[in-house]
């Protein structure tokens, strides 16, 4: 397929004469058209082109349209670019495929096929206004696509059954379950069964991440890649450190593996065919590489090369991927909820047999509850889904039923009549946001395929080689998604009449010291330095503003403790502290206390959590604004 792309001020065309293969255009007025401010894609469909070619063409057109800032695209059949044209039937079919593939992102039009046309076009003349592309799909790619299609067909053939497992360990069909008192679970079930992932409006956390100057979209990058400002980077870094510490405490060995891998590596290629993720493909050294979408590849290759005995099991390995990459659909990309570049804590465990695998599964299930609670998400904030094959359920019914005891509330069971993926059992904790969209956080899977695929084995007590089972675990899910869930929870608190807030250990500023006037600024700085030296993130509002505005601004930033310093405070060597956690929209909770008491309170609430210094200058007057 050959493309000539012109970024045009306008194009106007008129249909002059039909050929035997011309499309019907209907009304006479449809024969003459004009489009202003458009990316015009002159297209020749060639012999050998297929749906894969059209898909690659869509990717290229999207990339170019985004670079030139075009919101309108005209797909224009243009046979003169090639002497190796496909049959008319194929040409029309693939042009329609391209049109469909672009409609989720742009206003798209297609000029009729099979007509002699007169046209005028005005090219904008900037460096990217005239580009050409040749879309070629290599035979090996077509073979990969065929194999991948077979995997998808197997998935489509497998039947999925939905149940609710009650706290009484009764398995009830979803249609027969009474959701009264479990409205959040009902929202989650509807979302899962409908499988509508696209977002039709902006979720509240986007406004929060921007207003609080945590993160924002990066217009100079691909969609789904974010920039993090100092406060957002602090929160992200604290979460990364905490989750990593929990995995290491659990016994995992931390490793680091490459971001990209050879696309034609025999083992990796087979794995890619089993994972329906859209890949970032890059060229280099006469080979094609893909950017990793998980830490599995690197860890599995390490385990393949390692000498492992039964004494080493269960063997746990961990990596925090910054970043993993998945080329998700544009309509699904929104804020921090779903990204194309994300930070994933990935732990993999080798277990000698299924009994050990189930034991590890349950331990990691419980540890995930603990991790989410420390992050600021209680069990009532998320719903549990267990995905399982029917055979495995029948053989391990008692074990599966025991999972409901951990949280003591009903969980969703999705049961397949056959296995088309690499795992037999999986759980997810899913956060349901203010738009009733669900997003997976913690997850653990029991993998029964990849030890064989990657030739991973251990030496058993009898000296023989055996295949382990592999558990895939992310105790929290993507770090960015944890941030999304925390912000969405804050919004839902606000909707209930409570003050939105961040967990104290994640708050960029834990205490803001506010002098009543310039007269008390020196004392305010002295108090702030005392708090800072005690391991508290503290800043000082030294701006030339009224006390009321300073307090309001601190509240708008969700500062947990606002310490006012004035005549009374200096006289008694204390501070008047507004405590956000105990305040409401209507009434503030204030305490007159010593600095040491405030330090004790903060240290007590943050016990066991990592600490990092204030990410911005201590004086507000010295800070830039990132909005």
The model's pLDDT over 284-330, given as tens digits with 9 standing for 90+, comes to: 877 888 999 999 989 999 999 999 999 999 999 999 999 999 988 77
Do 573 and 479 share a structural domain?
no
pLDDT digits (tens, 9 = 90+) for 124-137: 988 788 988 888 87
Q: What is the arithmetic mean of pLDDT over 69-90?
A: 92
Give the model confidence (pLDDT) of 19-32 as tens digits: 999 998 877 777 89
Closest by CA position to 323, among listed 280, 292, 281, 284: 292
Positive or negative: CA dihedral 343, 345, 348, 354: negative
Regarding beta strands 315-325 and 287-291, do their DSSP bridges make them parallel or antiparallel, or are they unpaired?
A: unpaired
Residue 386 inside a domain? The answer is: yes
For residues 581 and 462, state if they share a domain. Answer: no
Residue ranges making up the domain that contains 427: 161-260+292-487
For 514-526, the pLDDT digits (tens) are: 999 999 999 999 9
Which own/partner pairs from 191-198 qualify as long-range (CB within 8 Å, at least 24 positions apart)?
Answer: 191/432, 191/436, 191/437, 191/438, 192/162, 192/385, 192/412, 192/414, 192/438, 193/162, 197/329, 197/331, 197/332, 197/338, 197/437, 198/329, 198/331, 198/332
Clarify whether residues 475 and 596 are in a common domain.
Answer: no
- Token pair belonging to 288: 């094609």
Contact 95, 75 (CB under 8 A): yes
| Angle value at C-alpha 373, between 372 and 375, nearest 5 degrees | 60
DSSP state of 379: G
Cβ–Cβ < 8 Å for 616, 539? yes
User: Are the C-beta atoms of 407 and 515 separated by less than 8 Å?
Assistant: no
pLDDT at 147: 47
542 lies in the same domain as 404: no
C-alpha 203, offset from chain centre: 14
Q: Would you say residue 143 lies in a domain?
A: no
pLDDT, residue 154, reads 57
pLDDT at residue number 278? 72
Query: Between the CA of residue 369 and those of 136, 189, 365, 377, 396, what are the distances in Å?
Result: 48, 20, 7, 9, 22
Mean pLDDT, residues 266-290 taken together: 76
The answer to whether residue 41 scores a pLDDT higher than 50 is yes
Task: Name the pLDDT band for 491 (thresholds 50, 70, 90).
Answer: very high
Tens digits of residue pLDDT in 359-391:
999 999 999 999 999 999 999 999 999 999 999
2-18 and 115-123: which strand pairing? antiparallel
Instruction: Tell me which range, 48-62, 261-275, 541-555, is most confidently predicted by mean pLDDT.
Output: 541-555
Q: Do 338 and 332 meet the contact criterion of CB atoms below 8 Å apart?
A: yes
**Residue 149 pLDDT more than 50?**
no
Average pLDDT, the chain: 92
Are 323 and 375 in a shared domain? yes
For residue 424, name the pLDDT band (cuts at 50, 70, 90). very high
* Of the candidates 42, 38, 46, the residue with the CA atom closest to the CA atom of residue 76: 42
Asked if residue 464 lies in contact with residue 551, where contact means CB atoms within 8 angstroms, the answer is no
One domain, residues 132 and 178: no
Q: Is position 494 within any domain?
A: no
Tell me which of 69-73, 141-145, 215-219 is least confident.
Answer: 141-145
Residues 304 and 435 in one domain: yes
Give pLDDT tens digits for 10-20.
999 999 999 99
The pTM for the full model equals: 0.77
Q: Among the three residues 436, 461, 487, which one is the final residue of a domain in this structure?
A: 487
Contact 381, 127 (CB under 8 A): no
User: Does a structural domain hold residue 89?
Assistant: yes
Percent of the chain at pLDDT exceeding 90: 79
Find out whether 293 and 318 touch, Cβ atoms under 8 Å: no
Supply the CATH number for residue 24's domain: 3.50.80.10
Task: Say which DSSP state 500 is in.
Answer: P
The pLDDT tens digits for 83-134 are 889 999 999 999 999 999 999 889 999 999 999 999 999 999 887 889 888 8
Return the pLDDT at 276.
Answer: 47
**Chain position carrying tokens 């909770």:** 589
Number of domains in the chain: 3
pLDDT classification of 139: cutoffs 50, 70, 90:
low
CATH (domain of 351): 3.30.930.10
Q: Are residues 456 and 382 in the same domain?
A: yes
* 131 shares its domain with 187: no
CATH of the domain at 511: 3.40.50.800
Asked if residue 17 belongs to a domain, the reply is yes
Q: Look at residue 144 and tell me whether its pLDDT is greater than 60.
A: no
Residue 165 has pLDDT above 80, yes or no: yes
Same domain, 214 and 300: yes
End-of-domain residue from the set 487, 519, 551: 487
Distant-in-sequence, close-in-space partners of 526: CB < 8 Å, separation ≥ 6: none
For residue 280, being part of any structural domain is answered with no
Range with the poorest average pLDDT among 153-162, 178-187, 562-571: 153-162
**Co-location of 355 and 459 in the same domain:** yes
* 174 shares its domain with 321: yes
């Amino acid at each position: 397929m050959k493309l000539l792309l012109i970024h045009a001020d306008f194009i106007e065309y008129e249909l002059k004469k039909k050929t035997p293969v011309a499309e019907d255009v209907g009304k006479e007025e449809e024969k003459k058209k004009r489009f202003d401010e458009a990316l015009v894609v002159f297209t020749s469909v060639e012999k050998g082109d297929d749906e894969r070619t059209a898909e690659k063409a869509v990717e290229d057109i999207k990339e170019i349209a985004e670079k030139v800032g075009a919101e309108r695209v005209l797909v224009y059949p243009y046979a003169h670019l090639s002497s190796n044209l496909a049959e008319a039937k194929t040409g029309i079919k693939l042009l329609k495929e391209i049109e469909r593939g672009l409609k989720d992102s742009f206003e798209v039009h297609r000029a009729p096929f099979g007509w002699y046309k007169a046209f005028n076009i005005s090219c904008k003349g900037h460096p990217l206004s005239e580009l050409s592309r040749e879309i070629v799909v290599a035979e090996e790619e077509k073979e990969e696509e065929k194999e991948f299609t077979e995997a998808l067909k197997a998935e489509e053939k497998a039947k999925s059954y939905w149940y609710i497992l009650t706290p009484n360990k009764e398995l009830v069909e979803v249609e027969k379950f009474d959701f009264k008192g479990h409205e959040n679970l009902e929202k989650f079930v509807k979302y899962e069964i409908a499988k509508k992932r696209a977002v039709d409006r902006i979720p509240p956390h986007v406004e929060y991440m921007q207003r609080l100057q945590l993160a924002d979209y990066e217009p100079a990058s691909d969609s789904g890649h974010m920039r993090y400002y100092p406060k957002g980077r602090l929160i992200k870094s604290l979460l990364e450190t905490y989750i990593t510490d929990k995995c290491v405490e659990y016994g995992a060995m931390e490793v680091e593996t490459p971001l990209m891998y050879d696309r034609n590596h025999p083992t990796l290629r087979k794995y890619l065919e089993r994972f329906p993720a859209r890949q970032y493909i890059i060229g280099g050294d006469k080979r094609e590489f893909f950017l990793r979408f998980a830490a599995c590849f690197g860890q599995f290759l390490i385990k393949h090369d390692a000498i492992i005995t039964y004494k080493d099991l269960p063997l746990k390995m961990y990596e925090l991927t910054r970043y993993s990459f998945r080329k998700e659909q544009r309509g699904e990309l929104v804020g921090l909820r779903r990204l194309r570049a994300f930070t994933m804590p990935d732990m993999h465990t080798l277990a000698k047999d299924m009994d050990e695998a189930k034991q590890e599964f349950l331990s990691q299930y419980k540890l995930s509850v603990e991790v989410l609670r420390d992050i600021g998400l209680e069990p009532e904030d998320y719903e549990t889904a267990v995905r399982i094959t029917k055979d495995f359920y029948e053989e391990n019914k008692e074990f599966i039923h025991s999972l409901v005891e951990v949280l003591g509330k009903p969980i969703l069971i999705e049961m397949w009549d056959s296995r088309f993926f690499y795992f037999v059992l999986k759980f997810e904790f899913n956060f349901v946001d203010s738009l009733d969209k669900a997003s997976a956080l913690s997850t653990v899977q029991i993998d029964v395929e990849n030890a064989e695929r990657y030739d991973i084995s251990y030496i058993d007590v009898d000296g023989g080689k055996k295949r382990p089972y592999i558990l895939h675990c992310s105790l929290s899910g993507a770090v960015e998604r944890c941030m999304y869930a925390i912000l969405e929870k804050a919004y839902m608190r606000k909707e209930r009449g409570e003050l939105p807030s961040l967990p104290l250990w994640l708050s960029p500023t834990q205490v803001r010291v506010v002098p009543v006037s310039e007269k008390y600024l020196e004392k305010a700085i002295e108090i702030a330095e005392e708090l800072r030296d005690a391991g508290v993130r503290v800043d000082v509002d030294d701006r030339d503003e009224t006390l009321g505005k300073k307090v309001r601004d601190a509240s708008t930033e969700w500062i947990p403790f606002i310490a006012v310093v004035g005549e009374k405070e200096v006289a008694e060597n204390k501070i008047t502290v507004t405590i956000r956690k105990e305040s409401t929209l209507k009434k503030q909770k204030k305490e007159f206390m010593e600095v040491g008491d405030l330090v004790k309170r903060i240290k007590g609430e943050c016990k066991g959590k990592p600490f990092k210094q204030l990410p911005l200058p201590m004086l507000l007057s010295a800070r830039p604004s990132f909005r």
